[in-house]
Chains A and B, each alone.
Chain A
Amino acid sequence: MALKNKIIKTLRNPGFWLILAVMALITLPYYQESLKHPAFLTQLTTDLGLTRHAFERILYLAPIVWAGFLFGWRGAFITSLAALACMLPRVIFISDYPMDSIFETGAVFVVGNVLSISFASLRRDREYRTRLEATQQDLKTSEERYRKLFENAIDGIWIHDLEGNIVTVNSAAEKMMGYSREELFKMNVKTFLSDESLDLAQKIRRKLLNDEPVEQPYEQRFFKRDGSETYIQLATSVVMDKEKPVGFQHIARDVTEQKRMNENLRFYLQQATRAQEEERKRISHELHDDTIQALVVLSRQLDALASGGKGLSEEAQQRLEELWKQTDSILQGVRRLSQDLRPAAIDRLGLLPAIQWLASDVSKYSGVETKVNVIGKEHRLPEEGAIALFRIIQEALRNVWRHSGAISAEITIEFNDKSTQITVSDNGKGFKLAGKVGDLAKQGKLGLAGMQERAQLVGGTISVQSEPGKGTTITVEAPG
């Protein structure tokens, strides 16, 4: 098939027909002596000291070499065979000096092929050289681009050998570390890493060399030239040369600012939460000290009038009795409001009685039977820790009540030496827990995310376990 296609291609090439024409042009006078060459050619023949037919034989070189140009060595060879076919009959049958003629014919054949091979290889060489130059140029451009990328990257990039001696850095790295390039080339990365950071760095290097998985990017800490601490997010890879590791390349992003912002945010959140609790406490106390006491006095006065007689009509006493009832109802409402804002038990009795109150309150109002178990010896927690835990449990129970469809819930409080752990579990419908607790906010489970924040603010932790159909368990642990 390929051969057929080649043949068609060749036939399509006008060059082929031209060569054919030239061959014919040479062959015709070769056999037809009456066809004379043009004058300048005859002159040339004489000057060269050749016979007319010898010259004509030499002329065959032209189509052979040309065929070599157009169709490669193979084309030249075929053409030379054709030329041979054209020349031989005359040489064998007609020529007066057959030996010379055969010699000339052979020479044309050989020279023709040699020439075309040389030209072909010259051309190949040229092509090759052109390609080589182009490739070298591409490589140069590519290297330049890489170098520009390396140099201008916003992230700091540096490479050091297996011992930690710095080999190359980009300008972002210079800025990041606060040292100049010249200084850095003489340094080992050990210089700006603390002991812990060095440990981590060595661990990562070891893992990479052993082809173990490393979680990237990771956080690292180092000291700048001026001694200040910088936090970076780092990605590391092994640099190979001829299949052997020779060093490490790091790409780093400065996250000190972000970290600081996060810390500030956390601090702000802590202050806001504290302020919120303070205000709740204040309002709760005011309700208790002012409003409730005043209502008590009012209630008593109505009671005295309603039951005291003192010349009041039956109807009036009836009316006063109703007013007493209303006042008592208002009192209950205010008491409940005050309790919701800040349960009195938490400040006067402690976390455990507050949770016991919460459990019985939840059982009464939500219909979810809530039990409290205690492990260990009860001790009082500092106020902030106690209220944080209380609010977390309050939120957890709210979730049980509103979302879980559970019939019962269990709170287990474990008092340990230096910490307190509380577990809330229910037998409700559970939910699909994806990823870490930190992803909860994204899933719309803001209550759980808020609980985690509260826990972290007092130095505690939260873990959540849940499975659809198998209920939910929330465990919170805080120091104190």
Chain B
Amino acid sequence: MRKIKILIADDHAVVRDGTRQILEQEADLDVVAEAADGAEAIKLAGSSKPDVAIIDIAMPGVDGIEATRQIKSLYPTIAVLILSAYDDDQFVFSLLEAGAAGYLLKSVRGRELIDAVRQVYAGESVLYPSIARKVLNRFVPTSGKAAGQKPTEVLSDREIEVLRLATPGLSNQDIADELCLSLRTVQAHLGHIFNKLQVSSRTEAVVRALKEGWVTLEDIP
């Protein structure tokens, strides 16, 4: 069984330890690196090649927001999961924009943290419907439209459909049912979408789609 390789970045040693202890209880999770600040996190992301990076926002020097940006630009296949003490939606938006796949509070229960790691690894989004609308409002361009590319230049029609359904937070199975496809096919489509968009999670794909204007208000319930 391939273990999911994890990097933890947090300037509070006790919290870092605690996170590691929670994860290492699971057989399929393996913590391969620990960083105490953003600069170290970026370096270790390169050297230890984790699948998932769990990053805290409040770190000295290069903070979690900047670290996320840099890691995503240097190593786009790493899924970034934010674990923060800040309960402010504004941070959620900023980090999604920076490329994070998910955002959790540090006080989240062990069970949820473990599930979230697996979800972002699988490309699922840790983006709840209640947040989705706010994210949309945030990313909708204020002026006219079409500053970016047309979706069809990047994705196939089918892929666009899948993405549109993924945006409101439909699970893969729901998408499959909706489009009368098999679960496998949907997963494959998502994989292609991630490749084409150079992202590694559903969240990032949705954010990109929102920014480009491929998805609109009507698509969110």
Contact = CB atoms under 8 A, between A and B. Distances in A.
Given A293-B12, A335-B87, A374-B142, A300 B110 contact: yes
B63 A296 contact: no
Interface in A289-309: 289, 292-297, 299-301, 303-304, 307
Nearest to B58: A288
B182 interface: no
A344 B110 contact: no
Given A288-B58, A297-B15, A303-B109, A357 B22 contact: no
B15 A344 contact: no
A379 to B, nearest CB: 15
Interface stretch (B26-34, B88-96, B117-125, B185-193): B88-96
B85 A304 contact: no
Given A288-B85, A348-B65, A296 B107 contact: yes
Given A345-B90, A348-B57, A356-B90, A293 B107 contact: no
A331 B107 contact: yes
A320 to B, nearest CB: 12
Interface string A326-367: 001001100100010001110011000110110010000000
Interface residues of A, number: 31
Interface string B72-113: 000000000000011111110110000000000011011100
Given A307-B111, A374-B142, A296 B88 contact: no
Contact of B88 (A295, A357, A374): A357
Interface in A394-408: none
Contacts of B63: 348
Contacts of B89: 356-357, 360
Interface in B15-51: 15, 18, 21-22
B147 interface: no
Contact of B90 (A297, A304, A353): A353
Given A303-B109, A304-B110, A348-B57, A293 B90 contact: no
B107 A328 contact: yes
A354 B110 contact: no
A357 B57 CA distance: 17
Interface of B: 12, 14-15, 18, 21-22, 57-58, 63, 65, 85-91, 93-94, 106-107, 109-111, 142
Interface of A: 288-289, 292-297, 299-301, 303-304, 307, 324, 328, 331-332, 335, 339, 343-345, 348-349, 353-354, 356-357, 360, 374
29 contacts: A288-B85, A293-B12, A293-B106, A295-B107, A296-B18, A297-B15, A297-B18, A300-B18, A303-B110, A304-B21, A304-B22, A304-B110, A307-B109, A307-B110, A307-B111, A328-B107, A344-B91, A345-B88, A345-B90, A345-B91, A348-B91, A349-B65, A349-B90, A349-B94, A353-B90, A353-B94, A356-B90, A357-B88, A374-B142
Nearest 3 interchain pairs by C-beta: A353-B90, A293-B12, A296-B106
Given A344-B86, A353-B93, 10 more contacts: A293-B85, A293-B106, A303-B109, A303-B110, A304-B22, A344-B91, A348-B91, A349-B65, A353-B88, A360-B89
